[in-house]
Amino acid sequence: MTKEVAKKQIAELSKAIEEHNRKYYQLNKPEITDYEFDKLLKQLQSLEQKFPEFLLPDSPSQRVGSDINNAFEQVKHKYPMLSLGNTYNKEELRDFDMRIKKRLGEEQNYTYCCELKYDGTAISLTYKDGLLVQAATRGDGVQGDDVTQNAKTIRSIPIRLSGENYPKEFEMRGEVIMPHSVFNTLNKERMDLGKDPFANPRNAASGTLKMQKSAVMAKRNLDAYLYFMLGEKLPHNSHYQNLIAAKSWGFQTAEHTEKVSSIDAVFAFIEKWDTKRFDLPFDIDGIVIKIDSLSLQEELGFTSKSPRWAISYKFKAEQAATKLKSIDFQVGRTGAITPVANLEPVQLAGTTVKRASLHNADIISNLDARIGDTVWVEKGGEIIPKITQVDLKLRPKNAVPFEYISLCPECETKLVRNDGEAHHYCPNENFCPPQIKGKIEHFVSRKAMDITCGEATVKALFDAGYITNIADLYDLTYEQVFSLEGFKEKSAKNLIESIAQSKSVPFEKVLFALGIRFVGSTVAKKLAKNLLTIEHLAKASVEELIEIEEIGIRIAESLVAWFSEDKNKEIIARLKAAGLVFETVEAKTASEKLKGEIIVLSGKFAIHSRNELKKLIEDNGGKNSGSVSKKTTLFLAGEAVGPSKIKKVKELNIAIISEMEFLELIGE
C-alpha cells in the first residue's frame, strides 16, 4: 500500500468511526453492531501501526488506550472546581429560592434548569480549536490529576468536536459514571478472582478513571455525562441552550433536563425522579437546580465553596428495615466463601427484597449483625441490596454475636483465611462440589473455551457422575449426553461438537479457562505472550514470573502452587492428549531473520513494550543485550535516547534503526 492510499484510508476510517460513535452515543441509533465497530477500529489501528506518521492525536484509535503506565501529573484548574450546596428537604429548597429572589429583586424573572445529579466522579475537559487537550479530575478543587489518556478511552467523550461554532477554547464539566450493567459484571469478575468487589458504581468509576493503564481502563466501559460549560465566549446566555449546542458538537450532555419557572415545578421534578431513578441504567443521588441565565448566575456569584445560583437536592437513600433471619454461605469456583443474608421479605424501591449481600466476615463483624436483629437494607447499583446498619434498639435480648463458620458448608473442609485477604476459602478445590461445578462452568464460558453448555447442563453432567473435572469433558460420549433429561439427538450432537471445536481455542484462552486463582483474561494473555508454552509456564519460578510486566508476587505464587499439584499436572496431561492448544501460535511462526544479530534497546517505544520487543528479537533468532559494546550489531532506538549513548553507538559504527524499521525487518 502506498503512503497516499494509507493516509486516505486512515482519514476515511477515522471519520466513519467517529460518525458511528456519534450515532451510538448521541442519537442512540447505532447502525452497525459492536463487532463491526471493533473491526473498523482494528483496521484503523493496524494501518496506523504500519504508517505511524499518520497517527493523529485525535484518532478514534486512542479509545483503545495504551499499555504505558500513566503517572498522573497534577494540573491547576483554570476555573476552580467547586462543589454544590446540599439540601435534603423541600424547606431548604424554598429558602434557596427565597435567597435568589431577594438578591435578584422581586421583579426579576428567572428560570431554573432541573437536572439529574449523576453519582460518579467529576471531570473537567478542556477543548482548544475543537480538540480535547486536557482532562482533569476534581482533586482538591484547585488542582487535580491529568487523566487525559484515560478520558480518551471513554467513547462518549469526543476527542475532536463535530459541528461548528464552538468557542476557540472552553471547558466542559461533567460526571464519569459506571453503568449498573458494567458494574455488576466487573464485580462478578472481581469476586471470581478472589478480589474484593467495589462498594458502589461511584467508587468503581473513580477507581477506574485513575487506573494506570489506559488500555486496561478502556475495557471497563465507563460513560460520561456533561452538564456545565465554562469559558470566556460561550454561544448563549442560557445554560440550557449551551448544553444543546454542546450536544451538537458531539457531547453526551445531561439527559432529562427540564426548564421550569417556579419552585413548585422543581418539587414536581424531584417527586418524579425520586421513583423514576430506579429505572435508570446508572445511579443518580439527587437532582441539581441551576439558574438558567448566565448573566443572572454572574450576578448571584459564588460563596467561597459553591455557587449561589445552584443547589443540589439529595435523595435519601431508599432504605427499608427488616429482620435478619439467617446467614447462608456460598462457595465460589475459587473456593471463596460469600455470606448472604436471608431477610424477612420487604418492599424496597419497587421490588421485594429477601436477600442481601454481606461480602465477608469483616463486614458482618463491623456491623455486629446478629440473627434476629432488625437491619436496614439499601439499594444501590448492585444486583442484590446491602445491609447498611443494625437497629440496636430493637435487638432481641437473647441475640448472640454471630460466629463465622470455620468449616466449608458444602464439604466440611476446614476454611483458611490468608493474611491480608478479606475472604475465607475452602482449600478442597478438587473435591468440593460447588468448586468443581464452578470451575467447569468457568472453563466452558464464552470468554474461556466457549463451549455451549449452561449451568444446568454442567450440573446434570456432574450429578450423573460423568464429569468431575474439566478434562472429563473431552471423554464425554454422545450416548452419555443423550441420556440426560432434556437432551435430544440434535442437542446432544451440538454439545459434543461444541466440545470438539473448543480444541482450537487459542492458548491464552485455555490458560484463562483453567481457572487458576488471580489469572484473569488479561493476565493469561500476558503469560501466553511471554512464556509461549505450557511447559515454560509450568517450570517458571516465582522470580521468573514476576519479571513479566503486570505479574505480581500474588499471581506468581498462585501459579507456582497450581502447577506443583499432581492433580493439576494430570489434568494438563489429559487436556493435552485431548488435543487442546498449549502454546502460543507465534512460537511456531518464529523466524531466523535476526540470526547473528546482537541488539541493544534504548529509549521509549511507541508500539511495543520493551518486553515485547525483547521477545520479538528472541523469536526471530536474535540476541538482546543490555549495553552497547563492540559486539553490538544493531541499536534499536526509541524516543528520547540519551545523546552520550548515541555518540558511543556512532563511534562504534553500529547501525541504528527505529522501531518501525525493526518491525519491517522482521516482517511484522
Q: Which residues here bind ligand IVH, judged by CB under 6 A?
A: 82-84, 115, 117-118, 122, 175, 227-228, 254, 288, 307, 310, 312
Supply the minimum distance, in Å, between the C-beta of residue 82 and ligand IVH. Answer: 5
* Residues in CB range of 139: below 8 A, 6 or more apart: 74, 77, 81, 145
Of the pair 115, 597, the CB lying nearest ligand IVH is at 115
Helix (H) or strand (E) holding 339, with range, is: strand 337-348
Amino acid at 329: F
Q: What is the 3-state secondary structure (H, E, C) of 592-611?
A: CCCCCCEEEEECECCCCCHH
Supply the minimum distance, in Å, between the C-beta of residue 445 and ligand IVH. Answer: 36
Of the pair 243, 470, the CB lying nearest ligand IVH is at 243
Contact 583/610 with Cβ under 8 angstroms?
no
What's the angle, vertex CA 225, arms to CA 221 and CA 226, rounded to 5? Answer: 140
Of the pair 290, 423, the CB lying nearest ligand IVH is at 290
Q: What is the DSSP letter of 383?
A: S
Assign residue 596 a region (left: φ > 0; alpha: ψ between -120 and 50; beta: otherwise). left
CB atoms within 10 A of CB 588: 8
Q: Which of 29, 39, 117, 305 is catalytic?
A: 117
Supply the minimum distance, in Å, between the C-beta of residue 308 and ligand IVH. Answer: 10
**Distance of CA 365 to CAs 13, 325, 416, Å?**
56, 17, 18
Counted residue by residue, the chain has a size of 668
Supply the minimum distance, in Å, between the C-beta of residue 123 and ligand IVH. Answer: 8
Of the pair 178, 470, the CB lying nearest ligand IVH is at 178
Supply the minimum distance, in Å, between the C-beta of residue 89 and ligand IVH. Answer: 17
Please give the backbone phi and psi of residue 503, each rounded to the nearest 5 degrees, phi first.
-70, -10
First-to-last C-alpha distance (Å) of the chain: 15
Active site residue 117: yes
Of the pair 287, 387, the CB lying nearest ligand IVH is at 287
Of the pair 177, 516, the CB lying nearest ligand IVH is at 177
Supply the minimum distance, in Å, between the C-beta of residue 585 and ligand IVH. Answer: 47
Supply the minimum distance, in Å, between the C-beta of residue 214 and ligand IVH. Answer: 22
Helices (H), 193-285: 201-209, 214-218, 239-249, 263-276
**Distance of CA 396 to CAs 23, 136, 373, 392, 401, Å?**
58, 51, 7, 9, 12
Supply the minimum distance, in Å, between the C-beta of residue 230 and ligand IVH. Answer: 9
What's the angle, vertex CA 270, arms to CA 264 and CA 271, rounded to 5? Answer: 90
Contact 43/16 with Cβ under 8 angstroms?
no
Closest by CA position to 364, among listed 329, 334, 397: 329
Using Cβ positions, the residue closest to ligand IVH within the complex turns out to be 122
* Residues in CB range of 613: below 8 A, 6 or more apart: 601, 605, 636, 659, 662
Of the pair 307, 372, the CB lying nearest ligand IVH is at 307
Of the pair 59, 121, the CB lying nearest ligand IVH is at 121
Helix (H) or strand (E) holding 134, with range, is: strand 131-137
Catalytic residue set = 117
